[in-house]
Each structure stands twice: as C-alpha cells, then as structure tokens.
Chain A
Amino acid sequence: MTTNKVLVISGAVLILSILVELIFVHPHVYYWWHGFIGFDVVYGFVGGLGIIMFAKTLGKLFIQRPEKYYAGGEEDND
C-alpha cells in the first residue's frame, strides 16, 4: 500500500466517524474532552506520533545498545 492510499482510507474512516459522532452520540461529559468532537482523532494521531518520537529519541540517547551488548545473547535462532 502506498502512503497516500493509507492516509486517504484512514482519513475517510475518520471523517465518517466524526459525522457519526456529530449526529448520534450524546456523550457523558465528565471532563471537557469527552464532549469535544474529534478529540479522540487528535489524541490518537498526536499520541501515536508522540509515543514513537519520544521512544525513538530516548532509545537513541540512552537506552539502545548494539545487539552484542550482553555478550551476544540475542544471537541464536531457534
């Protein structure tokens, strides 16, 4: 699948879901974001980007080491 196709299909589903939310959903609002139309879309997209970027940055700076780090412990195939 090309990048465009993925973006178009998921975008279409999201727009459809927002329409459904506008028409059918009567949310129980405990906090403001429960009533914010499309909050979950923004949260999922930004959260997804954020988690990947945060993890990868942390990995690069502190966490990740070459595979042989623990005396080649990850090398077997079985």
Chain B
Amino acid sequence: MPEVKRTMIEFHPGYILLLGALLAAVLPLRFRQGIMVLAPLLAVAAVFGLKTGTVWTYDFINKIELAPLKVDQLSWIFALIFTLIALLGNIYALHIRNSGESAAALAYAGASLGVVFAGDWVTLIFFWELMAVTSVFLIWYRKAPQAIGAGFRYLLVHFFGGNLLLAGIFLKVTAGQSAITALTGTNDAAFWLILLGISVNAAIPPLHAWLTDAYPEGTVTGSVFLSSFTTKVAVYCLIRVFPGTTLLIWAGTVMALYGVIYAVLENDMRRLLSYHIVSQVGYMVAAAGIGTDLALNGAASHAYSHILYKSLLFMGAGAVIYSTGKRKLSDLGGIFRKIPGVVVLYMIAAFSISGVPLFNGFISKSMIVSAAAYSHLPAVELLLYLAGVGTFLSLALKIPYLAFFGPDRGIEPVRIPLNMYVAMAGGAFLCTMYGIFPNLLYMYLPFNATYEPYTTDHVVSTVQLLVATIPAFWLLLYKFVDVLKVSLDTDWFYRKPLAVLINGLVYAVCRIRDEFGVLGNKALRAVMPFFVNPMKWAPPCDGEFCPVYREDQYRFSVGITVLMGLLVFIVSVSYIWLVR
C-alpha cells in the first residue's frame, strides 16, 4: 500500500484546469480571457510544485482505493508538456467568443492530466471518458454539417474504445487489482481488452480513422488541442502499462509508414497533418513496444517534442484557414508574401517534425531509431528511418510548395489576431530551444539511459537523407498538382457498408411494423362490430325496465388513476427506502 503523503502546497494540475473550465463557462469575455491564461499558468506552476513519489489515496466503495494523484518521473514529464501546451493553445484561442469552446478546451486538458496522474484504473477510466465528451465539443462547435457528423463518429468510436477499456478494467478491479501496473499476461482477457481500448485512442490502424476523420473538422483553435492530447495520453498509457509488448513494435512501424503513404495523397491541409499524427505516434508506439530504457525515454521525449511541433503545425494550418478561408492545398498557393510570419513559424515546425538537426524532432526521433538498432531490430530501424523521408516530403516540401510558394491564386488573407502569432512564436521558440539544448529535455527523462544526438555521424546522415529527398520530390512534382480526390480509409467501413446495413435494417423493421399494423387494423375493424356494445349479447328486453349501455358507467375518473399511480410510486419508494 503506497504511503499517503499530503502537504498543503501540492495541487493537482488537472483540477486547476477543470476549475478553470467551470469558471470559463460562466464568466464574461474579459474575465474568461484572464482565466484562459491564468489557469494553465497555475497548472504549470503546480506541476513544478509536485514531488515525485507523491500519492493521494482515498477509500472508495467496495474497498477500492482511489489514487487521483500519483506522481513519478513519467507522469511528471507528460504533465509538464500537457500544461505547457494548454497554455499555448489557450493563448492561440484567446480571441474566440464562444465560452463553451474555451471551457471544453480547458476541461479536455484537465481530463488528460487526470489520466496521466491516475494511480488506479477507476480514476483512469473516469478521466478517459471525460476526455472524449469534452473534446467532441471542439469539433461540434465548428457547426458545419460535416463537423457535426464527424463529431458523432468520433464520439461513437471513442465510446466503443472506452467500453473495451472499461470491460478490461472491470476484470482487473473485480480481481482486486485496482492499482495501475504494467500488464504482461497475454492469456488474460483484461490484457487484450485494455490494450485494444488504449489502441483506439493511440490511433493504431485499423482503429485510427476517427482521428483523420474528425481532427480536420474541428474549429481552428480546437484542432490544436485535439492534436496534442488524446493520442499522447494513449502513448503515456502504453509506456506505463505495455512496455516491451512485441506486438506494438510492428504496429508502430506499420503506423509510421501508413500515415506517410496517406499523407502523400491528401489534399486537405489539416487532414494531411492528421495522417502525420498517426505516423509520428507510430514511432512512439514502436518505442513502447521495444521497451528498453532508451526506447522508453525515446517514446516519452518524442511525445514531448511531438506535442510542441504538431500543435505548432496545426496552429500554422489554422492561421492559414482563418485568414484565407481555404483548407485545401489545391485552393491555396502564393501566400508566402502575404503572411510571411505564419510561413516562417510553420517551417520551424515542419523542420522539427522532419528531424532536421537543431530542431526538437531530431533529438527525440533519432533516439527511437537508434534504440531500434541497439535492440537488434534492423528492419524496424530502416522502416522508421524511411518514414522520416516521407515526413520531410509531405510537411517540409509538399505543403510549403503547394500552399505557400506555388502558383499565386490571388488570395487576399485577412488579418490574423496577435494572440495567434504569440502562441505560434512560443511554440517555435520551444521547438528550437529543445533542439539546440537537448539536455533541457533529457534531464527530466524518466528512464535510466543516456543518449547523445549531436554526433557528426548522426547529423551528416540526417542531412544526407533529407537533402536527397528534395530531388526525388522535385522530379515527381507533377504528380502533386491539382489532385481533387478524397482517400478511402478504414472509416469507409462505418460510413458506407455499415450505413447501408443500418438503413437496410431500419427499413426492414419499419416495413414489418407497417405490414403488421395494417393487418392488425384490418382484424380490429373486422371484430369491432361484435364488441362495441356488450348489451347486444344480453337477452332481448321486453319489459318496461330496459338497461341502456353507457360507455362511461364503469370507467374510473382520471383523478383516481393518477391517485393510484402516486400511491404505487410512494409505496415502492418507501419500500426501497426502508429495506435498503
């Protein structure tokens, strides 16, 4: 049983954000903007105030012990990046007028921290579901019909995944193991259920389509939050619960390439970025599967870097959508001279995700690739290395060429609010800072392994790999121009065949009901003449005292019916109350 240590100066950073969400929902605009900055700032401070080893425990029903706050180095580093990105994301969203959206974003960030600090399964599933129900509003608040539809699909898939997780957690908790520990027993149903539930949130194909379906449909500011939390919370859970699960190595490697291939085909800017979330999370999933100290450090640090550069990419894409009103690459082009600030900040993020030296992707991605090589997985090393080529291709060459530098289409962007620039500059600063001084990140890494990214060997190899991609892109450039297509993904199965199946079933049920209704009505009409007047069957009346049938004679009044209902209700309630 963990020792209970509580001091007055320790706060749960997630609860600060949840409280902030409540206040943001009710306060007027000016105060709300204050809360949107203040709550994440306090949460960052609270993270720095937490000591590793701290555990809060509370007794709950059925002798389950809840641990809403359990701090170790792994949860601490994830909490740090989650609170930092909550701050940047809220600054980016300061100009929005919709109080519901601000509240949803804060609550979503708070729920993510709730999962990260959860020490037991019950707390985890509570905040896991809270993440799903708060984040869906960041999609719905765009209010376009396809955003509403995508939001519903997002919610259904997450409820499905959440229920798998819940089923696994039921098994765990009823077996008396309510504390979260690493799971290994592959003969255990709980192992597979929990792994599947987490895999849905980690967007491991074929369970990934909710991400690329819904994230591009979110609001401009909401997608920044979406891109940061759900998948990285899942990565955190994989590191915590499934380190060294061999299956994950291959799942992650497939993911890394899957996202890259789809990104090459994609024309919608934010959907392209979403496919690169799948790809980048693939690196982390593979690293969690490798499970050595270096690989797990790689997974944690890559999640840290990824949150910074991916949110910056979504901020850049959001700024383009905000100012031009266009989301498709084929509609954009030549806006470099009109919004140079956005382009420069976007390029910093693109270089970071591609693993260009001096940017933060390099210091974490290379750690995972090296960990694969050190663990004698040559195929994994080469394939993850290849995914890096695809990342550079789509994010640092394709998007900039088509959207920013390509043929000018005479677009006149509107002015972008200052707060959006401030948030992007903050993200770009952090991406570069960690890239130049990797030890600022490495000093907080949870596992016991050291790594040196800046060897001449690494730097020269990376430069060669990425520069060699440029002529390849340039030679095949004609293939990227004006591709007006959508790509089918695994969401096709529930958007087309499942829809046909459900519509078919609904139609069949309605038809059966209608047919029976018609038949029943016919039968009723046929027998009605015999029952409409019971006196008809009485012996014929011949005297002076003939009974006359009155329909209302034997009916209760409405008042009596209500009284009876109330009596039954009161009796049942008092029975339950007394017997309880």
Show the binding face of A for B, using Cβ within 8 Å: 3, 6-7, 10-11, 13-14, 17-18, 20-21, 24-28, 30-31, 33-34, 38, 40-49, 51-56, 58-59, 62-67, 69-70, 73-74, 76-78
Q: Are B465 and A44 in contact (CB under 8 A)?
A: yes
CB contacts (< 8 Å) of B120 on chain A: these are none
Show the binding face of B for A, using Cβ within 8 Å: 142, 144, 146, 149, 260-262, 264-265, 268, 321, 325-328, 331, 373-374, 378, 381-382, 385-386, 389-390, 393, 456-457, 460-476, 479, 483-489, 495
Q: Are A48 and B473 in contact (CB under 8 A)?
A: yes
Question: For chain B, what secondary structure do more than half of its interface residues adopt (helix, strand, loop), or is it mixed?
Answer: helix
Chain B residue nearest to A59 in the complex (CB): B265
Q: Are B456 and A44 in contact (CB under 8 A)?
A: no
16 cross-chain CB contacts under 8 A: A6-B471, A7-B471, A11-B471, A14-B468, A21-B464, A31-B381, A43-B386, A44-B464, A44-B466, A47-B386, A49-B476, A51-B260, A56-B479, A59-B487, A63-B262, A64-B488
Give Cα A70–Cα B217 distance, bound, in whole angstroms.
14
Give Cα A51–Cα B479 distance, bound, in whole angstroms.
12
Q: Are A77 and B260 in contact (CB under 8 A)?
A: no
User: 9 closest pairs, A vs B, by CB?
Assistant: A48-B472, A44-B468, A55-B264, A40-B464, A64-B485, A44-B465, A48-B469, A45-B468, A73-B146
Chain B residue nearest to A48 in the complex (CB): B472
Chain A residue nearest to B328 in the complex (CB): A74
Chain B residue nearest to A32 in the complex (CB): B378
Q: Are B464 and A17 in contact (CB under 8 A)?
A: yes
Chain A residue nearest to B261 in the complex (CB): A55
Q: Are B467 and A17 in contact (CB under 8 A)?
A: yes
Apart from A59-B485, A63-B262, list 9 A-B contacts with CB within 8 A. A17-B463, A21-B464, A25-B457, A51-B389, A52-B472, A59-B264, A62-B488, A63-B489, A64-B265
CB contacts (< 8 Å) of B467 on chain A: these are 10, 13-14, 17, 41, 44
CB contacts (< 8 Å) of A24 on chain B: these are 456, 460
Q: Are B144 and A76 in contact (CB under 8 A)?
A: yes
CB contacts (< 8 Å) of B474 on chain A: these are 3, 6-7
Chain A residue nearest to B463 in the complex (CB): A17
CB distance from A55 to the nearest CB of B (A): 4
Q: Are B460 and A25 in contact (CB under 8 A)?
A: yes
CB contacts (< 8 Å) of A66 on chain B: these are 484-486
Give Cα A26–Cα B458 distance, bound, in whole angstroms.
11
A63 in contact with B265 given A6-B474, A26-B457, A41-B464 (CB within 8 Å): yes
CB distance from A51 to the nearest CB of B (A): 5
Give Cα A77–Cα B321 distance, bound, in whole angstroms.
8
Which of the residues A11, A46, A78 comes within 8 Å of B325, measured between beta carbons? A78
CB contacts (< 8 Å) of A45 on chain B: these are 468-469, 471-472
Q: Are A52 and B393 in contact (CB under 8 A)?
A: yes
CB distance from B441 to the nearest CB of A (A): 23
CB distance from A74 to the nearest CB of B (A): 6
CB distance from B95 to the nearest CB of A (A): 16
Q: Are A51 and B457 in contact (CB under 8 A)?
A: no
Q: Are B486 and A51 in contact (CB under 8 A)?
A: no
Q: Are A70 and B486 in contact (CB under 8 A)?
A: yes
CB distance from A64 to the nearest CB of B (A): 4
Which of the residues A10, A34, A42 comes within 8 Å of B470, measured between beta carbons? A10
CB contacts (< 8 Å) of A21 on chain B: these are 460-461, 464
Q: Are A55 and B265 in contact (CB under 8 A)?
A: yes
CB distance from A63 to the nearest CB of B (A): 5
CB contacts (< 8 Å) of B381 on chain A: these are 31
A48 in contact with B393 given A14-B468, A66-B485, A74-B268 (CB within 8 Å): yes
CB contacts (< 8 Å) of A6 on chain B: these are 470-471, 474
Which of the residues A7, A31, A64 comes within 8 Å of B373, measured between beta carbons? A31
With most chain B CB atoms within 10 A of its CB, the pick from A7, A33, A76 is: A76
A65 in contact with B485 given A17-B460, A25-B457 (CB within 8 Å): yes
Chain A residue nearest to B143 in the complex (CB): A78
CB contacts (< 8 Å) of B385 on chain A: these are 43
Q: Are A58 and B261 in contact (CB under 8 A)?
A: yes
A51 in contact with B485 given A17-B464, A44-B465 (CB within 8 Å): no
Q: Are A64 and B487 in contact (CB under 8 A)?
A: yes
CB contacts (< 8 Å) of B475 on chain A: these are 3, 49
Give Cα A71–Cα B506 distance, bound, in whole angstroms.
21
CB contacts (< 8 Å) of B265 on chain A: these are 55-56, 59, 63-64
CB contacts (< 8 Å) of A34 on chain B: these are 373
Which of the residues A20, A43, A59, A76 comes within 8 Å of B465, measured between beta carbons? A43
Q: Are B146 and A30 in contact (CB under 8 A)?
A: no
Give Cα A27–Cα B370 distance, bound, in whole angstroms.
13
Give Cα A70–Cα B495 distance, bound, in whole angstroms.
8
